[in-house]
Protein backbone atom coordinates (compact mmCIF):
# COMPACT_ATOMS: atom_id res chain seq x y z
CA UNK A 1 0.00 0.00 0.00
CA UNK A 2 1.34 3.42 -0.92
CA UNK A 3 2.03 5.78 1.97
CA UNK A 4 -0.42 8.36 0.54
CA UNK A 5 -3.24 5.81 0.52
CA UNK A 6 -2.45 4.86 4.08
CA UNK A 7 -2.59 8.50 5.22
CA UNK A 8 -5.86 8.98 3.37
CA UNK A 9 -7.47 5.99 5.07
CA UNK A 10 -6.22 7.08 8.50
CA UNK A 11 -7.71 10.54 8.14
CA UNK A 12 -10.97 9.00 6.98
CA UNK A 13 -11.10 6.66 9.96
CA UNK A 14 -10.33 9.40 12.48
CA UNK A 15 -13.04 11.65 11.00
CA UNK A 16 -15.70 8.95 11.21
CA UNK A 17 -14.67 8.03 14.75
CA UNK A 18 -14.80 11.62 16.04
CA UNK A 19 -18.28 12.15 14.57
CA UNK A 20 -19.48 9.04 16.33
CA UNK A 21 -17.99 10.10 19.67
CA UNK A 22 -19.68 13.51 19.35
CA UNK A 23 -23.05 11.87 18.74
CA UNK A 24 -22.70 9.65 21.80
CA UNK A 25 -21.73 12.64 23.97
CA UNK A 26 -24.68 14.68 22.67
CA UNK A 27 -27.09 11.84 23.34
CA UNK A 28 -25.91 11.39 26.91
CA UNK A 29 -26.11 15.14 27.56
CA UNK A 30 -29.69 15.09 26.37
CA UNK A 31 -30.54 12.15 28.56
CA UNK A 32 -29.03 13.90 31.55
CA UNK A 33 -31.06 17.06 30.83
CA UNK A 34 -34.25 15.02 30.63
CA UNK A 35 -33.58 13.06 33.81
CA UNK A 36 -32.72 16.27 35.67
CA UNK A 37 -36.00 17.67 34.37
CA UNK A 38 -34.26 20.84 33.23
CA UNK A 39 -35.12 22.91 30.22
CA UNK A 40 -32.52 24.89 28.30
CA UNK A 41 -33.76 28.36 29.23
CA UNK A 42 -34.32 29.72 32.74
CA UNK A 43 -36.03 26.60 34.00
CA UNK A 44 -37.41 27.95 37.28
CA UNK A 45 -39.72 30.44 35.62
CA UNK A 46 -40.92 28.24 32.80
CA UNK A 47 -41.81 24.94 34.46
CA UNK A 48 -43.80 22.59 32.30
CA UNK A 49 -46.24 21.15 33.09
CA UNK A 50 -47.01 23.70 35.78
CA UNK A 51 -48.63 22.27 38.90
CA UNK A 52 -50.62 25.37 39.89
CA UNK A 53 -52.12 25.63 36.40
CA UNK A 54 -55.07 23.27 36.44
CA UNK A 55 -58.57 23.14 35.01
CA UNK A 56 -61.13 25.33 36.74
CA UNK A 57 -64.07 23.58 38.43
CA UNK A 58 -66.89 24.27 40.87
CA UNK A 59 -64.45 25.22 43.63
CA UNK A 60 -62.66 27.82 41.49
CA UNK A 61 -65.97 29.18 40.22
CA UNK A 62 -67.38 29.60 43.74
CA UNK A 63 -64.16 31.33 44.82
CA UNK A 64 -64.13 33.85 41.99
CA UNK A 65 -67.85 34.54 42.36
CA UNK A 66 -67.29 35.92 45.83
CA UNK A 67 -65.48 38.79 44.06
CA UNK A 68 -67.07 38.83 40.62
CA UNK A 69 -70.67 37.67 40.89
CA UNK A 70 -71.18 37.35 37.14
CA UNK A 71 -68.12 35.20 36.46
CA UNK A 72 -69.02 31.96 34.68
CA UNK A 73 -67.39 28.55 34.33
CA UNK A 74 -67.26 29.15 30.59
CA UNK A 75 -65.20 32.26 31.20
CA UNK A 76 -62.76 30.39 33.45
CA UNK A 77 -62.43 27.57 30.93
CA UNK A 78 -61.78 30.08 28.17
CA UNK A 79 -59.08 31.71 30.29
CA UNK A 80 -57.52 28.34 31.04
CA UNK A 81 -57.44 27.48 27.32
CA UNK A 82 -55.81 30.80 26.38
CA UNK A 83 -53.31 30.36 29.20
CA UNK A 84 -52.35 26.76 28.46
CA UNK A 85 -52.94 26.41 24.72
CA UNK A 86 -53.46 29.83 23.24
CA UNK A 87 -51.89 33.25 22.88
CA UNK A 88 -50.00 33.08 26.18
CA UNK A 89 -47.70 30.42 24.71
CA UNK A 90 -46.45 32.54 21.84
CA UNK A 91 -43.30 33.61 23.68
CA UNK A 92 -42.91 31.24 26.66
CA UNK A 93 -44.22 28.07 28.24
CA UNK A 94 -46.93 27.70 30.85
CA UNK A 95 -45.92 29.73 33.91
CA UNK A 96 -46.85 28.86 37.49
CA UNK A 97 -49.68 30.98 38.90
CA UNK A 98 -49.07 30.55 42.65
CA UNK A 99 -45.74 32.44 42.98
CA UNK A 100 -47.29 35.84 42.13
CA UNK A 101 -49.64 37.75 44.40
CA UNK A 102 -53.08 38.86 43.23
CA UNK A 103 -51.77 42.40 42.95
CA UNK A 104 -48.83 41.32 40.82
CA UNK A 105 -51.19 39.35 38.59
CA UNK A 106 -53.20 42.41 37.74
CA UNK A 107 -50.08 44.10 36.36
CA UNK A 108 -48.86 40.94 34.66
CA UNK A 109 -52.16 40.34 32.87
CA UNK A 110 -52.26 43.98 31.75
CA UNK A 111 -48.79 43.72 30.21
CA UNK A 112 -49.15 40.23 28.80
CA UNK A 113 -52.60 40.85 27.32
CA UNK A 114 -51.11 43.79 25.46
CA UNK A 115 -48.20 41.66 24.28
CA UNK A 116 -50.61 38.93 23.12
CA UNK A 117 -52.99 41.50 21.61
CA UNK A 118 -55.91 39.90 23.44
CA UNK A 119 -59.44 41.23 23.03
CA UNK A 120 -61.06 42.70 26.15
CA UNK A 121 -63.15 39.52 26.50
CA UNK A 122 -60.13 37.22 26.33
CA UNK A 123 -58.11 39.38 28.69
CA UNK A 124 -60.93 39.31 31.21
CA UNK A 125 -61.17 35.51 30.88
CA UNK A 126 -57.44 35.08 31.56
CA UNK A 127 -57.60 37.46 34.51
CA UNK A 128 -60.60 35.73 36.11
CA UNK A 129 -59.08 32.30 35.50
CA UNK A 130 -55.80 33.27 37.17
CA UNK A 131 -57.59 34.89 40.11
CA UNK A 132 -59.82 31.83 40.56
CA UNK A 133 -56.68 29.68 40.88
CA UNK A 134 -55.12 32.19 43.30
CA UNK A 135 -58.31 32.27 45.37
CA UNK A 136 -58.19 28.48 45.86
CA UNK A 137 -54.46 28.32 46.55
CA UNK A 138 -53.79 26.15 49.59
CA UNK A 139 -50.10 26.64 50.29
Binding site for ligand HEC (CB under 6 A): 83, 87-88, 90-92, 95, 108, 112-113, 115-116, 118, 126
CA–CA–CA angle 133, 138, 139 (5° rounding): 115
Least distance CB 38 / ligand HEC (angstroms): 19
Least distance CB 40 / ligand HEC (angstroms): 16
The whole-angstrom separation of Cα 108 and Cα 101 is 10
Q: Which CB sits closer to ligand HEC, 73 or 89?
A: 89
Least distance CB 83 / ligand HEC (angstroms): 6
Least distance CB 65 / ligand HEC (angstroms): 21
Residue in 84, 87, 83 with CA at minimum distance from that of residue 127: 83
The whole-angstrom separation of Cα 19 and Cα 13 is 10
Q: Which CB sits closer to ligand HEC, 35 or 51?
A: 51
Q: Are 58 and 76 a contacting pair, CB within 8 Å?
A: no
Q: Which CB sits closer to ligand HEC, 95 or 133?
A: 95
Q: Which CB sits closer to ligand HEC, 32 or 110?
A: 110
Q: Are 52 and 135 a contacting pair, CB within 8 Å?
A: no
Amino acid sequence: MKINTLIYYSIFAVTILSCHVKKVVNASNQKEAISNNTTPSSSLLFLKPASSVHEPGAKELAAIQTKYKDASLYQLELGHAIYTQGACLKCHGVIEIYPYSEDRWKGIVDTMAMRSQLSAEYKDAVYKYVLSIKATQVN
